[in-house]
């Protein structure tokens, strides 16, 4: 099935892009255990079940344009378009505050490439911050399996002001970001970082 953006460009899911221009290397995360998205979904389910927070992955609205009907009981979607560009991956409420964040993995060892985040997503994070919400990014460096929470204001600075660069140096993420504790339940306990940084 082919999903397309409103401009007709074909959608390629995160983590399967073969282009080196976006990530610096050709990422193949399938053999490295759970993906960042799976870890976050499991974490958010734990937060929901324990009554700590209500945070979900945002569904992206699609418009179905092609359906194959091989038989009446087995319709298959063959082509669909995204109705609008996506904003960020996750949103919800924690301790009375709106939470909004993007989650990205990279196989780069020394930097996080800007090509992984788009202009409309940066604008969305700016709007969330301007309204008093909490916006950040969660990065996973796949070679080391390190996961960082990085405030949106730091990311926006690099994205907007450092025009000559195409990535954020990892040492800046280590310095200004926060290493997310990893375990079993929850898998990625980013709420304790939010408690420390934003409350």
| Binding-site residues from annotation for Mg(2+) | 87, 89, 102, 121
Phi-psi region of 111 (alpha: psi -120 to 50; beta: other; left: phi over 0): beta
Which residues have a Cβ under 8 Å from the Cβ of 195 and sit 6 or more positions away? none
Cα 3 from chain centroid? Answer: 19
* Token pair for 139: 């990065």
Rounded-to-integer distance, Cα 108 and Cα 24, Å: 6
Closest residue by Cα to residue 90 from 125, 142, 132, 118: 125
Alpha helix locations (H) across 131-169? 152-161
Q: Three-state DSSP class for 84?
A: coil
Closest residue by Cα to residue 40 from 95, 112, 88: 88
């Amino acid at each position: 099935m082919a999903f397309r953006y409103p401009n007709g460009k074909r959608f390629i899911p995160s983590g399967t892009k073969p282009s080196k221009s976006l990530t610096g290397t050709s990422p193949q995360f399938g053999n490295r255990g759970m993906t960042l998205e799976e870890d976050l979904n499991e974490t958010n389910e734990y937060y929901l079940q324990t009554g700590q927070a209500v945070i979900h992955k945002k569904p992206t609205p699609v418009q179905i344009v092609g359906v194959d009907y091989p038989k009446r009981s087995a319709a298959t979607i063959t082509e669909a378009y995204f109705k609008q560009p996506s904003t960020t991956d996750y949103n919800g409420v924690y301790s009375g505050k709106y939470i909004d964040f993007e989650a990205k993995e990279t196989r780069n060892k020394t930097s996080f490439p800007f090509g992984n985040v788009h202009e409309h997503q940066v604008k969305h994070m700016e709007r969330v911050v301007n309204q008093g919400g909490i916006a950040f990014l969660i990065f996973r460096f796949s070679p080391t399996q390190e996961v960082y929470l990085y405030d949106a204001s730091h990311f926006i600075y690099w994205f907007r002001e450092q025009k000559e660069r195409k990535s954020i140096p990892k040492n800046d993420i280590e310095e200004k970001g926060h290493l997310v504790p990893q375990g079993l339940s929850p898998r990625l306990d980013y709420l304790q970082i939010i408690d420390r940084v934003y409350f």
